[in-house]
Amino acid sequence: MKEALEFIYKEQKEISTLGGVAALLGWDQMTYMPPMGAEERSDQTAMISRITHERIISDQLWHHIESLSKLETFEKLADKDKSVVARLKKDLEKARKVPPEFVEKMAKTTTLAYPAWQMAREKNDFSIFSPHLEKIVGLEKEYCDLVNIPGPKYNSLLDDYEEGMTVDKLKTEFEYLKSQLVETLQRIKSTEIYNKQENFDKKFSIKMQRDICDIIIDKIGLPKNRVRLDISTHPFTTSMGYDDVRFTTNFDHENPLFSLFSTVHESGHALYELGMPKDEFKDTVISDAPSLGLHESQSRFWENMIARSKPFWNYFYPIFKEFSPTQFKDLDLEVWYRYVNQVRPSLIRVDADELTYCLHVILRFELESALIDDKIKVSELPGLWNEKMNEMLGIKPTTDKEGVLQDMHWSGGDFGYFPTYAIGTVYAAQLFKKLSEDNPRVNEEIEKGEFGNILTWLGEHVHKYGRLMDSDEIIKKCCGDGLNSKVYVSYLKDKYYNLYGV
């Protein structure tokens, strides 16, 4: 037993070390790597991921886990070891269903699909991408058969990103959410305020945007000696280790709100990574997020519930406008707050406002789940995309570039990923509601730029668990219910009906 325990902890430590190496390879590729380095980088990434996968599915590791899982042995384990053994067993069971040859085939297919998607998008020609997408969808189905979670095939994909989530559960939540969002949007669109709203025309230099972001991450409380902010085309967060978390933003847009919200969003991810259970669970399977949805709940929490809130701008607007006093001379807080939360249906998900964002996600969920469960074909995607956009948002892409080709996810084989964006958004609202009950002074604290109690609360109710429970259990333990779109819808209606005078 002692030998087996020693082995599994040593192995988890090494797998975690390799994970940090892989994270660095990925981060560097998105931030600093010279363009020509891409080919050799893909060899490096593939090799590290192959070595890691070999370790994960090794018979030796499995043998030790099996012996530790035997009832009479398991019962003698310390609580900590029980958690680790049970979690690791579940992970290995799943990983061992997928042979290395399949992983390699998928990697090769997506490696070719990504540049095809780029070109298709550039040339606005879906036919360049569709044969690759056909192959990927075929492989995704094959993957579902390997993993074989009960119910619709797509359940096996969902489970990778949101363990335990099913098509049925999600359909119920998303149907409700969709109908409520569409209705809310309709009502807002008929208001005078909506029909008179103007485009934002303030422009900020990169230097100013950077300085604003530095103030925010300092205020929110990201520790400079464990974290750094860089620039990449698409903002993201990654960890090379418990004490080395990197996140990125983008200052290309002259509109400072893009970099501001993306920095706050990624700060939420980074704070979660920095708050993972350390002492006894560092370098074990426990020290990780249980799902992407819960991870997204942290980014959305800081982005939507904090940085798009009135109390936040009460505090931050005076600081913010000091960066460009002339541009804001006659612009009072009320007008500015409206601007920050302007509803404006748009074709591109990453530019969407808070209200319409989840509709973009639901559209993708409906299409990809139908695709995997053989209800639609790849060739039907562009048309269906445009129809659904029109149905939900009342606008229709005129090109596939603004439609079905806008996101890279499918080219990387990331089916089942999109829903976590909406799940996290809903969770964030549930968490904030509970926080406000636990600490009725929270808005006053935000108004003073004090975020310490909020961070402590998130640490206590989410971060500290790592994977000791799944997301559903963590949210239930904290908020009473599991995923509950009603809470989110109610928050949205309060906020936006008020803003638009509905």
Q: Which residues are catalytic?
A: 266
Nearer to a second copy (CB atom), residue 245 or residue 431: 245
* Minimum distance of a second copy from residue 217's CB (angstroms): 13
| 227 binding a second copy? (CB under 8 A) | yes
Q: What is the 3-state secondary structure (H, E, C) of 96-123?
A: CCCCHHHHHHHHHHHHHHHHHHHHHHHH
Can residue 77 be called a binding residue for a second copy (CB under 8 A)? no
Stretch that binds a second copy, among 74-82, 235-243, 443-451, 486-494 (CB under 8 A): 235-243
Single out the residue of 81, 95, 62, 144 nearest to residue 368, CA to CA. Answer: 144
- Cβ distance to a second copy smaller for residue 34 or 440: 34
Q: Residue 249 pairs with which residues in a beta bridge?
A: 231
- List the one residue out of 357, 489, 496 whose CA is nearest residue 430: 489
Task: Rank residues 274 and 428 by Cβ distance to a second copy and give the closer one.
Answer: 274
Q: Which stretch binds a second copy (CB under 8 A): 14-22, 201-209, 360-368, 477-485?
A: 14-22
Taking CB under 8 A as the rule, does residue 192 contact a second copy? no
For Cα atoms 207, 211, 215, give the angle at the middle one, nearest 5 degrees: 170
* Helix or strand (DSSP H, E) at 272: helix 256-274
Per CB under 8 A, 21 contacts a second copy: yes
Asked if 150 interacts with a second copy (CB under 8 A), we say no
The answer to the question of residue 226 lying near a second copy (CB under 8 A) is yes
Q: Which is nearer to a second copy, 1 or 24 (by Cβ)?
A: 24
Regarding beta strands 244-249 and 227-231, do their DSSP bridges make them parallel or antiparallel, or are they unpaired? Answer: parallel
439 makes contact with a second copy (CB under 8 A): no
Tell me if 231 contacts a second copy by CB under 8 A: no
Angle ∠(308,311,317) on CA atoms, nearest 5 = 75
The distance of closest approach from Cβ of residue 454 to a second copy in the complex, given in angstroms and rounded to an integer, is 23
Burial class (CB in 10 A: 0-12, 13-18, 19+), 324: middle
- Residue 70 or 224: the one with the smaller Cβ distance to a second copy is 224
DSSP tag of 291: B
**Interaxial angle between packed helices 59-69 and 2-31, expressed in degrees from 0 to 180 and rounded to the nearest 10:** 130
- The reply to whether 157 sits near a second copy by the rule CB under 8 A is no
The label of the residue with tokens 């485009």 reads: 199
Q: Does residue 25 touch a second copy according to CB under 8 A?
A: yes
Residue 398: exposure state from Cβ atoms within 10 A (0-12, 13-18, ≥19): exposed
> Least distance to a second copy from the beta carbon of 12, Å?
13
Does residue 241 belong to the site contacting a second copy (CB under 8 A)? Answer: yes
User: How many chain residues interact with a second copy (CB under 8 A)?
Assistant: 36
Strands 227-231 and 237-241: unpaired
Indicate which single residue of 5, 18, 30, 193 sits in contact with a second copy (rule: CB under 8 A): 18
Residues that bind a second copy (CB under 8 A): 13-14, 17-18, 20-21, 24-25, 28, 32-37, 39-41, 43-44, 47-48, 51, 223-228, 230, 240-245
